[in-house]
Amino acid sequence: VLDKMFDKTIKKLIKSNLTVILGSDAHSVETRPPQMDEAFRVITEKYGISVAKRIKENMNFVFQNIVSNGEGL
């Protein structure tokens, strides 16, 4: 039930072009690694390659600006 609620919310955000980036609640690369490849596979399957590309481009833009501003991660 919870997954359906999240799925419905995510669908609304994507259709409204409000989805800017994708995040992970990974706590450690060893014990709880991010599963970004899987997330992008699901996004591509459900919403298409153009949505997945847009989100990746936005993530790269945010990351590059953090690094270029010297803010670190």
Say how far apart CA 53 and CA 6 lie, in whole Å. Answer: 21
* Mean pLDDT, rounded, for 34-55: 89
d(CA 54, CA 72): 23
Instruction: Give the pTM.
Output: 0.69
Tell me the mean pLDDT in the region 35-61: 90
pLDDT interval class at 57 (50, 70, 90): very high
Interacting residues of 20 by C-beta distance below 8 A, sequence separation 6+: 55, 58, 62
Asked whether residue 49 carries a pLDDT value surpassing 90, the answer given is yes
Helices within 1-73 (DSSP H only): 2-15, 36-47, 49-68
Give yes or no for a contact between 22 and 39, defined as CB atoms under 8 angstroms apart. Answer: yes
